Amino acid sequence: MADTEKRTRHNRRVRDDRPVALAMLTPGLVGMIVFIVIPFLTAIFLSFTNRRLGSPLPVEFTGFRQYLLVLTDASFLRAIVNNIIFLLVVVPVQTGLALALALLLNRKLKGMVIFRTLFFMPVVFPMSLIAVIWVLIYAPGQSGMMNSLLEIVTFGYWEPKDFLHNPWLALPAVMLLSVWQGTGFQMIVLLAGLQGIPHTLYEAAALDGAGKWHQFRHVTLPQLRNPLIFVVIVTSILSFRVFDQVRIMTRGGPNDASTTVVFEAIRAGFDRAQVARGAAMTVIFFLIVLTITLIQRHFFRHEE
C-alpha cells in the first residue's frame, strides 16, 4: 500500500513516450541530419561561393554567379537535354515493356515464377558490372555482339558501328542497358499491383459483357493507377540520376554526347575540384528531382 502511494507521487502522465521516442529516434535523426541535411544545406551554401578544393584564394560570396556560369555552360546544358531525352525515351519504353511482362506473368500458369525470376535478375546486378559487360556487347566491328545481332535482324543492311564512340549512338546505347536493368523492378511492382486487383472485379466486368480489351481498359488500368504513377515517377527520377554507366562506359563522350547532369556535377566537384560549381549543379539537379516528386504527390493527392 505504501509502495503504491510512493509511485503515485511521481505524478507521471499515463502515456507520454517522448523521452523513449526521442531516444529511439536519435540515431536515425542524427544520421540523417549529419549525412543528408547538412551536406544538402552545404551544397546550397557552397553554390553561392567560389570555393575550390586546394585553392589558396579566400572563399568569397559570389551570389548567383555559379548558377549563371553553369546555366550558360554548353556541356551542362547538353547534360540536361540528354537527361530529358533519356527520360522521354526510357520511361515509356520501360513502363510499356514492364506492363506487358507483368500482364503475361500474371496468368495462373506453371513456371511463371521462373520467368519472373529471370526478368528480375538484371535488377540485382550492380550497374558497374552491367556497364562493363555491355561495353563488351557494344564492341565495335563485325564481330561485336550487338553489331552482329543488328546485322541479322536487318538482313545484312546494318553497317558495324562503334556505339560508344559514335555521337549519335552513345546515348541510345546507354539508354538500352538502363532499360534492360530497370524493367524487372517496374515489372515486380506492377505485378504486385495486378495481383492485388480483386478477381471479382473481372468477373463482374465479364458479366456486364466487357471483353478482354474493355476489362483491361476499365478494370486493370484504373486499378493499377497508383503502381503505374509510382513506377513512372521513380523511373523519371532515376533518368536524372544516371551516373555509373556513363562514367564507366563513355565518360560523357564523345563530345558530351552522353553526358548527364550528375556526371557533370561530379566532374566539376570531384575531378576538377570545383566544389562550388559542382554544388550549383547539384542544387539544380535537386530542383529537377523535387519538381518530379511534387508532380507525383500532386497525382496521388488528386486520387484521394
Partner 1 sequence: MASIAFSNVEKYFDDQRVIRDFTLRIGDGEFVVLVGPSGCGKSTLLRMLAGLERITEGEIRIDDTVVNEQTPQERNVAMVFQNYALYPHMTVRQNLAFPLKMRKLDKSEIDRRIQDAADLLGLEPLLDRKPKQLSGGQRQRIAMGRSIVRDPSVFLMDEPLSNLDAKLRVQIRTEIAELQKRMQTTTVYVTHDQVEAMTLGQRVVVLKDGELQQVATPQALYDAPANVFVAGFIGSPAMNIVRSRLEKGEGGTFRVRMGGTSLPVSEERAAVFPGLEQKEGEPVLVGLRPESFFVAEEAASREAQIGVVVDTVEMLGHETIVYGRFAEEGEEEAQTVTARLGPNLRIDLDEEIRLGVDTEKIYLFDAEDETSLMDVQQVAEEIGARERNREETPAGE
Partner 2 sequence: MQRRRLIGNLLNYLFMTVFALLFISPILFMIVGSFKPDAQVLSDMGTLNAFFPDEVTVQNYRDVFERAPFGRYLFNSAVVNGFIVGLGLLVNSLAGYALARLRWRGRRLVLNFVLAVMVIPFEAIAVPLFYQVTVLGWRNDYWVQIFPFIAYPLSIYLFYSFFLGMPKELEEAARIDGAGPLRTFFVIIVPNAKPAFASVAIVTLLLFWGLYLWPLLVTAGESVRPLPLGIATFYTLPPLQWGDILAFGVMMVAPILIVFLLFQRWFVRGVASTGLKG
Q: Which of residues 2-31 bind partner 2 (CB under 8 A)?
A: 15-18, 20-25, 27-31
Least distance from C-beta 298 to partner 2, angstroms?
12
Buried b (16+ CB within 10 A) or exposed e, 201-213: ebeebeeeebeee
**Judged by CB under 8 A, does residue 14 bind partner 1?**
yes
Binding to partner 1, residues 159-198 (CB under 8 A): none
**Left (φ > 0), alpha (ψ -120 to 50) or beta: where does 274 sit?**
beta
**Judged by CB under 8 A, does residue 4 bind partner 1?**
yes
CB of 18 or CB of 107, closer to partner 1: 18
127-137 and 145-153 helices cross at what angle (nearest 10)? 60
How many Å apart are CA 285 and CA 268, to the nearest integer?
14
Q: Tell me the number of residues near partner 1 by CB under 8 A.
A: 10
**Judged by CB under 8 A, does residue 275 bind partner 2?**
yes
CA 149 from chain center: how many Å?
A: 29
Segment interacting with partner 2, rule: CB under 8 A, options 67-75, 120-128, 164-172, 205-213: 120-128
Binding partner of 11, given partner 1, partner 2, none, CB within 5-8 angstroms per partner class = partner 1
Binding to partner 2, residues 241-270 (CB under 8 A): 241, 243-244, 247-248, 262, 265-266, 268-270
> Are the beta carbons of 51 and 276 closer than 8 angstroms?
yes
Partners of 49 in the β-ladder: 61
**Judged by CB under 8 A, does residue 19 bind partner 1?**
no
Partners of 61 in the β-ladder: 49
Question: What is 67-98 written as a DSSP string?
Answer: HHHHHT-HHHHHHHHHHHHHHHHHHHHHHHHH
Place of cell 556526371: 263
Segment interacting with partner 1, rule: CB under 8 A, options 13-21, 44-52, 181-189, 262-270: 13-21
How many Å apart are CA 23 and CA 198, to the nearest integer?
42
Q: Among 4, 11, 72, 143, which residue sits at the site for partner 2 (rule: CB under 8 A)?
A: 143
**Judged by CB under 8 A, does residue 21 bind partner 1?**
no
CB of 14 or CB of 153, closer to partner 1: 14
**Judged by CB under 8 A, does residue 191 bind partner 2?**
yes
Residues at the interface with partner 1 (CB under 8 A): 4-5, 7-8, 10-15
